[in-house]
């Protein structure tokens, strides 16, 4: 059965390995994936533990629907205490790893301790080994995966790995699988590096029994039609996620020169059409690829056309790389974006974080807070493509004073740099913002301020707020599966009803992450895509587990509260500029300077923003300080956590 995939507890210090079934009561409370991971982290990580210490728990998982007949169940989730923020660490990636893990017999891996020397974990149809990784240490993410396949003599092995950034304990190092699938946020690759864990490799051929196979296949056909008929997914299948950058930059929603401007001008060379053109020229007309069981194919394949990296193959870039190596540092060369994307994929580092932190350093350099002495003679001006790529290398290998300082993340770096450097750092809870600018979109600003793992566009972002949908349509979306009769507004500049939209999207995205499905297959960018009603059916047909849409909502709400409890335990407070639900002062004090008429001059209103947070806390069952009410914990069945049922 799909529900008989097990959980493995692996201690790298002692070498002990124990496998257990996942109790059905835990499935009914948290389903799987990110939801069950949140429970595991809270239950098996001690309060105040060192994120780089042996006691930090690293959890790798697939969703409850992974490797079933459900579409796009490719997502792998990774969770631990974050070495970047000291709060919740959580990252999600596509590819083919999680299905292979399920076919090997497991949905969750719980990894503790630290190996004496570099190791990797090999899982093959229920058997788990800890193997020597001395020959892998120092290799790039791609070379590591190919070397593991060669060593084990199997081209079908799927691995999640770290690169040199993880080995060097860059606090925002990521975990990679395949060429470009990145569990990119909050430093999960750094946690692997701290444990001397180079990789987890899996091979599985065991059956996953489907509860109602014919009905599941028939339902999935309709599911696929719904997904592929959406114009947003058709566009992504042609241009990939860079189309998002193109649309938001032309409107004025892109951070440029750190946070000085909100539109990157004269940037035709990094528009999605140009990226697509290079991919077609270097790969051919069929250059779009996808993850396991996905029909959208939103990822371009390309080769770098010229320069020192000419001929290097890679995939992407996502629109996040356009922001990291284009918009934020004000570099407008397609090749710079493609090379930057290639380097972070090979070194294994979060493109959002490294692009944002280098752009921050560029503004500090421009203002004289950093000097040529600090940069070891590097001219760190905006628009300097060579300096941008050089800093990627310096950070990932901790070269020079500034490279080493920036490798520890923005808040520690601001403390070492001093002066007024923290004022210019665009972060929430210690994690740098995406390259988007939310001053004209209060709902999106609320999302990044209150997201569980820090500044985040994938935790509760009501992206469809930009579509100006009629209130009738909004009410249909946001009143299911639980009723809502409060205010809603079609205007993205409004503050009215936005707290509920953020709350609804937070539960929607948690539900997706529990199932193991891609967010592009739900109400993220597409208003008509599947959500709770569809999930109830697809869970039953594939697993036999009967859950109503409302029960799935409650599971998502419960899992989100588990993440909140973890953060509160580790020091989250509402108004703390470094560990709170708040924004950098520039959102309130500096108006947007470019873009469309509904953008220019916009700031976030402090008082209205405070009221929005109050409203969101009320929806979530929190008090005015962001702490859960006793009745909320009782309603969600969390009053006795940690329960340590496993």
pTM value is 0.98
Residue 390 has pLDDT above 80, yes or no: yes
pLDDT tens, position by position, 499-550: 999 999 999 999 999 999 999 999 999 998 999 999 999 999 999 999 999 9
pLDDT tens, position by position, 281-294: 999 999 999 999 99
Overall average pLDDT of the 473-485 stretch = 97
Cα 264 from chain centre: 24
Residue 397 has pLDDT above 70, yes or no: yes
pLDDT at residue 55 in the model: 97
**Cα separation, 518 vs 96, whole angstroms:** 13
pLDDT at residue 559 in the model: 98
Report the percentage of the chain scoring pLDDT > 90.
Answer: 95
Confidence band (pLDDT; 50, 70, 90) for 223? confident
**Rounded to 5°, angle at Cα 88 from 527 and 162:** 90
pLDDT tens, position by position, 130-139: 999 999 999 9
Overall average pLDDT of the 403-411 stretch = 98
Asked if 242 and 274 count as a contact pair (C-beta separation under 8 A), the reply is: no
Mean pLDDT of the chain, nearest integer: 97
Sheet holding 181-183, edge to edge: 127-132, 119-124, 197-203, 158-161, 175-177, 181-183
Contacts of 172 (CB under 8 A, 6+ apart): 84, 185, 186, 187, 190, 349, 350, 353, 354, 409, 431
- Paired with 18 in beta bridges are 9
In order of start, what are the domains of the chain with their CATH numbers? 2-203 (3.60.9.10), 230-432 (1.10.569.10), 442-636 (1.10.599.10)
Residue 486 has pLDDT above 80, yes or no: yes
Phi, psi of 523 (to 5 degrees): -75, 80
Confidence band (pLDDT; 50, 70, 90) for 441? very high
Phi, psi of 313 (to 5 degrees): -85, 145
- Exposure of 271 in the CB half-sphere (CA atoms within 13 A): 12
pLDDT at residue 646 in the model: 85
User: Lowest-pLDDT range, 228-237, 362-371, 469-478?
Assistant: 228-237
**Cα separation, 598 vs 600, whole angstroms:** 6
pLDDT tens, position by position, 77-115: 999 999 999 999 999 999 999 999 999 999 999 999 999
Overall average pLDDT of the 370-374 stretch = 98
Residue 1 has pLDDT above 80, yes or no: no
Residue 51 has pLDDT above 70, yes or no: yes
Residue 440 has pLDDT above 70, yes or no: yes
C-alpha pair distances (Å), 122 with each of 64, 128, 149: 22, 6, 11
**Rounded to 5°, angle at Cα 444 from 442 and 449:** 90
Phi, psi of 505 (to 5 degrees): -65, -35
pLDDT at residue 2 in the model: 80
Confidence band (pLDDT; 50, 70, 90) for 645? confident
Report the percentage of the chain scoring pLDDT > 70.
Answer: 100
pLDDT tens, position by position, 238-273: 999 999 998 999 999 999 999 999 999 999 999 999
Question: 117: burial class by Cβ within 10 Å (0-12, 13-18, 19+)?
Answer: exposed
Cα 457 from chain centre: 8
pLDDT tens, position by position, 175-191: 999 999 999 999 999 99
Overall average pLDDT of the 396-406 stretch = 98
Confidence band (pLDDT; 50, 70, 90) for 64? very high
User: Lowest-pLDDT range, 1-5, 221-225, 372-376, 584-588?
Assistant: 1-5
């Amino acid at each position: 059965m799909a529900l008989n995939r097990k959980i493995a507890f692996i201690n790298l210090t002692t070498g002990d390995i124990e496998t257990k079934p996942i109790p059905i009561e835990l499935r009914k409370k948290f389903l799987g994936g990110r939801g069950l991971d949140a429970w595991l982290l809270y239950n098996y990580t001690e309060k105040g533990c060192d994120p780089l210490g042996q006691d930090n728990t690293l959890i790798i998982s697939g969703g409850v629907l992974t490797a079933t007949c459900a579409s796009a169940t490719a997502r792998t989730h990774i969770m631990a205490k974050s070495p970047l923020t000291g709060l919740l660490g959580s990252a999600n990636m596509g590819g083919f790893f999680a299905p292979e893990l399920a076919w090997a017999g497991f949905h969750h891996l719980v990894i503790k301790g630290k190996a004496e020397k570099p190791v990797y974990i090999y899982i093959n149809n229920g058997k788990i080994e800890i193997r020597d990784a001395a020959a892998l240490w120092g290799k790039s993410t791609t070379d590591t995966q190919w070397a593991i396949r060669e060593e084990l003599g199997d081209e079908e092995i799927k691995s999640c790995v770290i690169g040199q950034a993880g080995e060097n304990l860059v606090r925002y190092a990521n975990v990679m699988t395949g060429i470009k699938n990145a569990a990119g946020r909050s430093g999960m690759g750094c946690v692997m590096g701290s444990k001397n864990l180079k990789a987890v490799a899996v091979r599985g051929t065991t059956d996953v029994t489907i509860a109602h196979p014919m009905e599941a296949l028939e339902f999935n056909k309709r599911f696929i039609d719904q997904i592929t008929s959406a114009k947003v997914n058709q566009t992504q299948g042609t241009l990939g996620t860079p189309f998002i950058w193109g649309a938001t930059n032309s409107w004025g929603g892109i951070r440029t020169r750190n946070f000085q401007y909100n539109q990157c001008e004269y940037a035709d060379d990094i528009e999605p059409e140009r990226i697509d053109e290079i991919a077609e020229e270097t790969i051919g007309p069929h250059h779009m690829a996808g993850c396991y069981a996905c029909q959208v194919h939103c990822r371009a394949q390309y080769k770098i056309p010229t320069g020192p990296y000419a001929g290097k193959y890679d995939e992407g870039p996502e629109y996040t790389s356009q922001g990291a190596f284009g918009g934020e540092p004000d570099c407008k060369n397609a090749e710079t974006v493609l090379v930057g994307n290639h380097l972070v994929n090979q070194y294994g580092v979060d493109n959002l974080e490294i692009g944002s932190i280098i752009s921050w350093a560029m503004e500090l350099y421009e203002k004289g807070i950093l000097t040529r002495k600090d940069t070891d003679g590097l001219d760190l001006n905006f628009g300097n493509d060579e300096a941008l790529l050089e800093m990627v290398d310096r950070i990932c290998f901790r070269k020079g004073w500034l490279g080493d300082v920036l490798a520890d993340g923005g808040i520690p770096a601001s403390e070492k740099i001093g002066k007024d450097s923290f004022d210019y750092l665009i972060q929430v809870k210690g994690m740098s913002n995406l390259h988007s600018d939310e001053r004209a979109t209060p709902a999106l600003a609320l999302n990044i301020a209150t997201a569980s793992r820090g500044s985040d566009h994938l935790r509760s972002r009501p992206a469809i707020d930009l579509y100006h949908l009629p209130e009738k349509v909004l009410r249909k979306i946001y009143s299911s599966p639980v009723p809502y009769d409060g205010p809603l507004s079609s205007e993205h500049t409004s503050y009215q009803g936005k707290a509920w939209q953020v709350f609804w999207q937070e539960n929607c995205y948690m539900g997706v992450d529990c199932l193991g499905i891609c967010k592009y297959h739900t109400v993220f960018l597409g208003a008509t895509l599947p959500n709770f009603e569809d999930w109830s059916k697809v869970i039953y047909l594939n697993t036999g587990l009967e859950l109503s849409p409302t029960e799935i909502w409650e599971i998502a709400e419960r899992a989100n509260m588990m993440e909140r409890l973890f953060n509160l335990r580790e020091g989250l407070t509402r108004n703390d500029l470094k560990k709170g639900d708040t924004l950098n002062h520039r959102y309130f004090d500096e108006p947007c300077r470019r873009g469309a008429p509904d953008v220019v001059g916009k700031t976030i209103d402090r008082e209205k923003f405070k009221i929005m947070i109050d409203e969101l806390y009320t929806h979530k069952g929190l008090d005015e300080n962001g702490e859960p009410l006793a009745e909320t914990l009782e309603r969600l069945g969390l009053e006795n956590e940690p329960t340590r049922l496993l």
